[in-house]
Structure 1
């Protein structure tokens, strides 16, 4: 965005430092300036001093931007009924302060900078701000927050620069022009995101997936989009702060935001998606064979959403095989969660032993009876689980449990005392492994 040179009638006209700045009288008096060198020097000195003073005021205001942004958000919260009873969620307060802080910084920069890429300077916060669409925030309410931010800035310009300063009008004009440009960008992004959200909500993938997993045929007319060898992925999504809030509005807002962030990350990082069904605590994907590292995908999804993401994957030979593949993936996911294999992807080959040990048989009650004394000792079960998971290494086990290695030794000794089973004897260790998996379920 390039600013034209402002003409402020009856006052000094200011551009960026170093610009040729003259009074209205100078611009109309022609050659009379050359006849009065003393007056010219005095006028130029006054202009230079005034421009320097204005730049100093703007620099000072920029150092106070964080405080002004917090004051603007506090004023916004006081005047809205939306958060009157519950208060504004912590994440939303932080994001709102950051947004207004950026708004104020860009407006102040525009006073002294001739060429300023306003949309580019605000692209990140405008994109992040469109999340308010999915949270149900009306556009009018959304824009009221931005308007209060600008009102606070205008008040500070009057107070800091002073009504008698010839540069006040320039500062107000330029910041207003910048704010108007920002409003156009914000409203456009908000409306586009609202249309995208409506389109996404119109996709009934859950119904289609349910039908395919019941063994029904693909209901669509275009079979060209159906993967020849589909892959099903089941997701377990951990809880994030806010989902367990006592306030139902905060719970709902947090859950919607979490799903929205996950959906956007999947669209960005996982090509080949076919059908997607996401909920706050679980999800289902049917896709073409993925070229993406699914462990890296789980880590990426956790980074963007804050939730631990565990993925179970199974290949199908065709659409008709999806019911079998989904059942296998469900068993893989259950086993992975039971044995602590979270935050990554798993296939049956990764959890085959744990899956086998977790299955019931007529001999399982006998094995459980030998370990009955451990039922009310969760710290001993946790120690055995960690000991097995870390290949019987006492130091690694201690590190995982945040205890001293001697504590691990003492607990294993206590297991021996209560059950008669010794982890140093292979058959006893296998018995404890089977019982631990069963007790953990």
Structure 2
């Protein structure tokens, strides 16, 4: 094996050439991804996941950087330097990417690096082979880390799939019995937590594969954060648009949980919690939590954790009763005007402050006045008269915006 150059001039020459190659790393990473796409049977030019040109290219750049640095720096900690990239790369496991395909991309990256080393150092065979061997030794160490992480994550994914609690939660919320292997694990007074999860931007764009990948990543991020942040989890079922968690009574405040979940997943999250007096009380608690969540969503409490105490008045307004149809009939003309319903909802949430309402809606205060006047013209109900305002509040609590787009673009 060629030993390290001892002549200072040769060392300086090697450092200078490696530095020139490192400046080409972005180009080399792009070439790697292009070469991988061309060689892989999984992709065509019209069905290339976005992550290949984003996360995967970043991982390749990191690998190239570490391999090149190791040529002139034996002290580099490969495991620590590449840990984040390798952990991120294990997301390919969740996509069902075979290990051989995953390794194909890594190998393409080193092939590009070897060609660049030969182009820069090929005139000095001794220097080239020294650099190549150093880089290849580092690459082998990276691959060992990659394979180990991939296999561990595969086992974890299989275990997580085996722990799918959806059927158990379905059974308990119906009030049916379920035989548990460990009866001592059952919370004496369980709590149920329901999540409404919006789409991430990536789920609303790109091709079907990209949207599916984005949804998978979101679910994994939410599930992982719940496991870390919520003590006493018992049963958990996370889907792209909703989640159900049955747990021991929460220890401490969960006020920031929705904010934290939105941060890690990239999607707005709304949460409702209801406590049950026993395992047999879960059907009642589940129904109440669903009602709380529905009201929280419609009343603009996205990004919060809501309990019945937080939405009791709105729940009372919207709860079915003999009087509710009568009150709703007085506001029937608002059904075709989701923009007015939305304005009323924001006006109430802003404590009847027209300027705060205008700021939230990003309109002029006069526009708010015009819409409230239009409400009066359509319904005969004036927001400045308490009894009539309460009638409108009932209608707003019971109504569902037809779409954000319609609400933001009045007729």
TM-score bucket of the superposed structures, by smaller chain: over 0.9
User: How far does residue 191 in structure 1 lie from its aligned partner after superposition?
Assistant: 0.6
Match of 1:231 among 160, 185, 191: 191
**Do 2:232 and 2:248's aligned partners in 1 also have CA atoms closer than 8 Å?**
yes
**Do 2:47 and 2:207's aligned partners in 1 also have CA atoms closer than 8 Å?**
no
User: How far does residue 366 in structure 1 lie from its aligned partner after superposition?
Assistant: 3.3
3-state SS of the aligned residue for 2:203?
Answer: coil
User: How far does residue 160 in structure 1 lie from its aligned partner after superposition?
Assistant: 1.9
Normalised by the size of structure 2, how large is the TM-score? 0.92
Residue by residue over 1:70-123, the C-alpha shift from the partner in whole angstroms, topping out at 9 and shown as x without a partner, is 221122112223221642222443100110010001001101112121111100
More displaced 10-residue stretch of structure 1: 317-326 or 360-369:
360-369
User: How far does residue 165 in structure 1 lie from its aligned partner after superposition?
Assistant: 5.6
Matches of 2:339 and 2:186, distance apart in 1: 49
3-state SS of the aligned residue for 2:237?
Answer: strand
Residue by residue over 1:198-218, the C-alpha shift from the partner in whole angstroms, topping out at 9 and shown as x without a partner, is 111112411211222222344
Match of 2:122 among 162, 173, 179: 162
Matches of 1:71 and 1:291, distance apart in 2: 51
User: How far does residue 49 in structure 1 lie from its aligned partner after superposition?
Assistant: 1.9
Give yes or no for the alignment of 1:269 onto 2:229.
Answer: yes
More displaced 10-residue stretch of structure 1: 204-213 or 161-170:
161-170
Q: Which residue of 2 aligns with 1:80?
A: 40
Residue by residue over 1:265-293, the C-alpha shift from the partner in whole angstroms, topping out at 9 and shown as x without a partner, is 11122221111111111111111112253
Q: Which has the larger radius of gyration?
A: 1
Q: Which residue of 2 aligns with 1:314?
A: 274
User: How far does residue 435 in structure 1 lie from its aligned partner after superposition?
Assistant: 1.7
Matches of 2:323 and 2:163, distance apart in 1: 48
Match of 2:327 among 360, 367, 372: 367
User: How far does residue 247 in structure 1 lie from its aligned partner after superposition?
Assistant: 4.1
Residue by residue over 1:3-22, the C-alpha shift from the partner in whole angstroms, topping out at 9 and shown as x without a partner, is xxxx52xxxx425xxxxx2x
Q: Which residue of 1 aligns with 2:154?
A: 194
Match of 2:395 among 435, 438, 441: 435
Q: Which residue of 1 aligns with 2:136?
A: 176
- Which runs of 5 or more structure 1 residues have no equivalent in the other structure? 1-6, 16-20, 22-46
**Do 1:208 and 1:219's aligned partners in 2 also have CA atoms closer than 8 Å?**
no
Q: Which residue of 2 aligns with 1:280?
A: 240
Sort the Cα spacing of 1:440 and 1:211 in 2 relative to 1 into closer, same or farther, 3 A: closer
**Do 1:108 and 1:175's aligned partners in 2 also have CA atoms closer than 8 Å?**
yes
Sort the Cα spacing of 1:86 and 1:233 in 2 relative to 1 into closer, same or farther, 3 A: farther
Give yes or no for the alignment of 1:122 onto 2:82.
Answer: yes
Match of 1:14 among 1, 4, 25: 4
Give yes or no for the alignment of 1:397 onto 2:357.
Answer: yes
Matches of 1:318 and 1:86, distance apart in 2: 54
Matches of 1:88 and 1:214, distance apart in 2: 43
More displaced 10-residue stretch of structure 1: 279-288 or 135-144:
279-288
Aligned CA RMSD, in angstroms, stands at: 1.9
3-state SS of the aligned residue for 2:192?
Answer: strand
Give yes or no for the alignment of 1:301 onto 2:291.
Answer: no
**Do 2:295 and 2:397's aligned partners in 1 also have CA atoms closer than 8 Å?**
no
Give yes or no for the alignment of 1:67 onto 2:57.
Answer: no
3-state SS of the aligned residue for 1:185?
Answer: helix
Match of 2:306 among 346, 361, 372: 346
User: How far does residue 407 in structure 1 lie from its aligned partner after superposition?
Assistant: 1.5
Q: Which residue of 2 aligns with 1:413?
A: 373
3-state SS of the aligned residue for 2:137?
Answer: helix
Matches of 2:235 and 2:264, distance apart in 1: 21
**Do 1:104 and 1:149's aligned partners in 2 also have CA atoms closer than 8 Å?**
yes
Q: Which residue of 2 aligns with 1:337?
A: 297
More displaced 10-residue stretch of structure 1: 289-298 or 274-283:
289-298
Q: Which residue of 1 aligns with 2:409?
A: none
Matches of 2:227 and 2:165, distance apart in 1: 15
**Do 1:234 and 1:333's aligned partners in 2 also have CA atoms closer than 8 Å?**
yes
Sort the Cα spacing of 1:393 and 1:243 in 2 relative to 1 into closer, same or farther, 3 A: same
**Do 1:86 and 1:247's aligned partners in 2 also have CA atoms closer than 8 Å?**
no
Matches of 2:258 and 2:227, distance apart in 1: 14
Q: Which residue of 1 aligns with 2:101?
A: 141
Residue by residue over 1:28-78, the C-alpha shift from the partner in whole angstroms, topping out at 9 and shown as x without a partner, is xxxxxxxxxxxxxxxxxxx32222111011112222212211221122112
Normalised by the size of structure 1, how large is the TM-score? 0.86
Matches of 1:335 and 1:85, distance apart in 2: 45
